[in-house]
Structure 1
Amino acid sequence: MQEPDAAKDVAASGAAAGAPVLRERRLHPVTPLRRAWAPVAVIAGWAVHDPDQAQRQLTRLTTTTLLAVLAAAVLGAALYGFLSWWFTHFAVTDTELRIRTGLVFRRTAHIRLERLQAVDVTQPLLARVAGVAKLKLDVVGADKKDELAYLGQEEARSLRAELLARAAGFAPETAHEVGEAPARRLLHVPAGVLAVSLLLTGATWATLAAALVVPPLLWFATHSVWTVLATALPLLGAAGASSVGRFVGEYDWTVGESPDGLRIDHGLLDRAHETVPPGRVQTVRVVEPLLWRRRGWVRVELDVAGSANSVLVPVAPREVAESVIARVLPGVAVPAALARPPRRAGRCVPFWWRGYGLAVTDTVFVARHGLLRRRTALVPHAKVQSVRLEQGPWQRHQGLADVRVDTGANKTVTARLRDASEAAELLYAQADRSLTGRQEALPDRWMA
């Protein structure tokens, strides 16, 4: 599809005479097709909410009236989509990305460039067919991502490169000339390995078994079709999401390293081009399902402050995964052995206490839990926000305590059932290590 000339020059709103002209741009012309669905969705929602009333209203209409109503609905949806596109503009200033939207109620979003921590390019299936892309912006302190949907593919990539260059401190005059930073491939997950890993995931088979066993039992117990459907459909959906859905979403998973962070490309139908910003990773988790251990496979997940990016490596050999972790957390190595709690911890959590472990190195706080699905969490000392010691009545009687470490991603990593004296010593030592780590940490910076 040919790229449109969507840019226009307008005077900055409220600017004084002689003020510089602000170059505003519009979204891609296919955007109205996306937004035109909003009125249709409202009508469909009303029909689903009250189907009897909707059916009564339809039976009262003649064929001519029904066609006229449909034509009016189509024209109204098209007009809504066009006007919402026409009154949406964006511009990049020296300090911010400004997005103006709204016909009746105007909204202007001011996104400070220095607060940008990631700019992702995503392409749903229909967007790939149309040759457009969506730009998602991760901003520090924002609950959800702002987005520009849709832009031409080349325009989206060039705008992403310009925003990252300006966030890195390049002058506005030269930022658009920097271009996209080169990336070096670190990892690629073959489709066959991904498929086998999903087949060896216990949750997939457990959900599928429940979807096949529970509905027949409900049928014999209730003989109600609606009860069976209300139970079977969510179970089948969960089974599909944990197997087929994950395969489609994690297909062709590629991790590359560039000056603006780690880049992640993935997706069979919907393609996503995501960025793990440097210095924003709060926790790294190494996940080892039971059936993966014989093959030496692991999954690596992330907690990133202010971001929804949660997967770094869907499946890979441990050595490869640890090499990628070393790029996310420079100077950090995953400990080979972790110390178990004392044996009396079995009086608090029988059998499962064997899955708990703890290690503290010069750079990270490491805690492990789980026997069937082992999870090892690594928290850099500089990312620890607070440390707590918790001790219930039975734990106090057994001389045990939990040490909880809170991170900047509003998540907690817990070292379970440690000896009480060890936990008290760990509490104060970890507080000192966290303070020292923050003082010695390098500043987070794009394109360093």
Structure 2
Amino acid sequence: MIPAPDDGWMRLSPRKLLLDPVKAVGQAIVPVVVALVGISQSDMRFWPIIVPVAILGPVVLGALPWLTTHYRLTESQIQVRSGILNKNTSTAPLDRVRSVDLEASLLHRVLGVQKVQVGTGVDDDRITLDALAASDAQALRTTLLGRRAAAAPPSAVRAGAGDGDGDEAARQATDHAEGYAAPAPGVPAQPFPPAPAALLAAIDWSWLRFAPFSLGRLVLLAGAVGVFSQFADDLPIWNEETATSAWAWITQFAIVAVVVVLAVGGLGLWLVVSVVGYVLQWWGFRLVREHGNLHLTSGLVTTRSITVEEAKVRGVEMTEPVLMRLVGGAELSTLATGVEDGVTQVLPPCPREVAVGVGGAVLEQPGPLTRTLVRHGPKAHRRAWFRQLRNALDLVVVLAVAWWWFDLTWWWLAAIAVGLLALAAAVGEASYRHLGHALGEQHLVAGSGTLARVRTVLETDGIIGWVVTQSWWQRRIGLADLTATTAAGAEKVVVCDVRLDVAVALADAATPGLLTDFVPEPATA
């Protein structure tokens, strides 16, 4: 049960006594087995001592966190105390709680517990409780988010008093949305009943068609190849005789047929890995708006429950990877302050129109993700081409040196060079087509990306400064990179290769008064 205020310290779930030893044994099993094998090849006298230590050590160390970790909830704080020799006490004021994330691995779910992570708006300042009973974790999440809302003052106090009728109407609308009743003079604000959760998106299994076009799962295959390579040298098949006989067997067939079989097998393996990975990660996906938060849940083996406070969301970013764009797919992330890495993916690979619709719902303003961008002109176009062609030429020079060193046929180098230059031209054209910017009443929109098309939307209220940079080449042709600094996301949004006068005017229009001294005055007749 969740402790009532001032009820004293409480332990985590007793099932943690099973969780941590199993995790400790799993982490220690490889080095322990290696050590035992090494000892068995040298001297067996120490086995009666080493085996009990190897088994009981992880169990004892795994049980210590449950014995030494306590937590409690007071009227104003959540407090966690842990440690044996070095005592550590973590506290978080309830009105500073920004997120309460729940996570449960397969082992957690078997034991009926969850890991709770409480965020306070600082990336490295997260209180973790691993593990609470699933019901207690859900109750703690509801309690913390509810008390944060109750502790938050009405928007009229936070934002300052306004004099006009329009300001009063806006405050009343905001207070109602946040759960406050607009009070009469001298009467304290009273909360409305909490609004029901609004579903923004849920999993649609027709989206599985986008899984093979998302290359993120290639990391898994690369990891599997890396693990296999660690043991491959010891396999008996890797010797000259075996390799010669295998090559002779392969050459009995048509080389084209072998290539086709390998290609089909590789494609089939990729389809399995990508689809299974998609299902494991996004099973049961739901994105809802509740109590002023965006709440995302997903996962089959490991379940996730992520909370992003809407007041901290400063924008969204829609990414269309090159392969996914061919089938009309996209991904969507939020840009927020006070969350880990600042970027939270809130949609799986899905149809572009779904990403646009959810992005508009998060921004509470449709249109920024589909707004027509202002192009940056022929100079930026030439620069996009030149950047890619220069990279291709650098690679051709390296290959030419290798060709000369190994005395290879130059026709192959010429063919590769032509292919690289053609590819560079295509990539340069694509990167320019992705380039652009737009400014609405409340949002700055920046288009970028080389192969993937990225559309970043940032609230102008979230811009805290501007940086204008010019390389030597950019100065020669009058272009600049305009960077909007912010506390959200990657802490910057860059508008690349825009004319210098346009960059300064754009910054001044987005944040009036901030760059007034740098805006050139119009010429007089």
Aligned amino acid, residue 72 of structure 2:
A
Q: 1:77 aligns with which of 45, 55, 58?
A: 58
Q: 1:356 aligns with which of 411, 418, 435?
A: 435
CA gap of 1:347–1:429, structure 2 versus 1, over 3 A, is same
Q: Distance in 2 between matches of 1:142 and 1:372?
A: 30
CA gap of 1:157–1:69, structure 2 versus 1, over 3 A, is same
Greater shift in the superposed pair: 290-299 or 141-150: 290-299
CA gap of 1:342–1:224, structure 2 versus 1, over 3 A, is farther
CA gap of 1:23–1:180, structure 2 versus 1, over 3 A, is farther
CA gap of 1:354–1:61, structure 2 versus 1, over 3 A, is same
Q: Distance in 2 between matches of 1:132 and 1:57?
A: 38
1:323 maps to what in 2?
357
Q: Distance in 2 between matches of 1:399 and 1:74?
A: 69
2:321 maps to what in 1?
289
Query: What is the CA distance between 1:301 and its match in structure 2?
Result: 1.3
Q: 1:199 aligns with which of 207, 212, 224?
A: 212
Q: Secondary structure at the match of 1:340?
A: coil
TM-score w.r.t. the length of structure 2 is 0.66
2:347 maps to what in 1?
313
Question: Is residue 2:461 matched to residue 1:382?
Answer: yes
- 1:181–1:259 contact (8 Å) kept in structure 2: yes
Cα deviations by residue, 1:37-88 (Å, 9 ceiling, x for unpaired):
576478557559xx5x76443445548x535533344334333333321221
Q: Distance in 2 between matches of 1:434 and 1:127?
A: 51
Q: Secondary structure at the match of 2:360?
A: helix
2:374 maps to what in 1?
339
Tell me the percent identity.
26
Unaligned runs of 5+ in 2: 153-191, 240-268, 386-428, 516-525
Q: Secondary structure at the match of 1:23?
A: coil
Aligned amino acid, residue 197 of structure 1:
F
Task: Write the mapping of 1:26-425 to structure 2, written as runs, cut at 5 A.
Answer: 26-36=11-21, 40=25, 55-60=37-42, 62=44, 66-143=47-124, 145-169=126-150, 182-193=196-207, 195-201=208-214, 244-293=276-325, 295-308=327-340, 310-331=344-365, 333-334=367-368, 335-350=370-385, 351=429, 352-370=431-449, 372-409=451-488, 410-425=490-505
- 1:403–1:415 contact (8 Å) kept in structure 2: yes
Q: Distance in 1 between matches of 2:219 and 2:59?
A: 46
Aligned residues: 392
Q: Distance in 1 between matches of 2:459 and 2:67?
A: 47
Query: What is the CA distance between 1:379 and its match in structure 2?
Result: 0.4
Query: What is the CA distance between 1:389 and its match in structure 2?
Result: 1.0
Cα deviations by residue, 1:390-445 (Å, 9 ceiling, x for unpaired):
1111111111111111120342211111122111222333332889xxxxxxxxxx
2:395 maps to what in 1?
none
Q: Distance in 1 between matches of 2:21 and 2:224?
A: 37
Q: Distance in 1 between matches of 2:314 and 2:378?
A: 31
TM-score w.r.t. the length of structure 1 is 0.76
- 1:282–1:379 contact (8 Å) kept in structure 2: yes
Report the structure number with the largest CA radius of gyration: 2
Q: Secondary structure at the match of 1:348?
A: helix
Greater shift in the superposed pair: 272-281 or 423-432: 423-432
Q: Secondary structure at the match of 1:414?
A: strand
CA gap of 1:239–1:140, structure 2 versus 1, over 3 A, is farther
Question: Is residue 2:59 matched to residue 1:25?
Answer: no
Aligned amino acid, residue 34 of structure 1:
L
Backbone CA RMSD of aligned residues: 3.7
Report which of the two has the higher share of strand: 1
CA gap of 1:241–1:179, structure 2 versus 1, over 3 A, is farther
Query: What is the CA distance between 1:254 and its match in structure 2?
Result: 1.3
Q: Distance in 2 between matches of 1:81 and 1:207?
A: 29
Greater shift in the superposed pair: 143-152 or 391-400: 143-152
Query: What is the CA distance between 1:103 and its match in structure 2?
Result: 1.8
Q: Distance in 1 between matches of 2:458 and 2:6?
A: 47
Query: What is the CA distance between 1:162 and its match in structure 2?
Result: 0.8
- 1:84–1:103 contact (8 Å) kept in structure 2: no
- 2:292–2:311 contact (8 Å) kept in structure 1: no
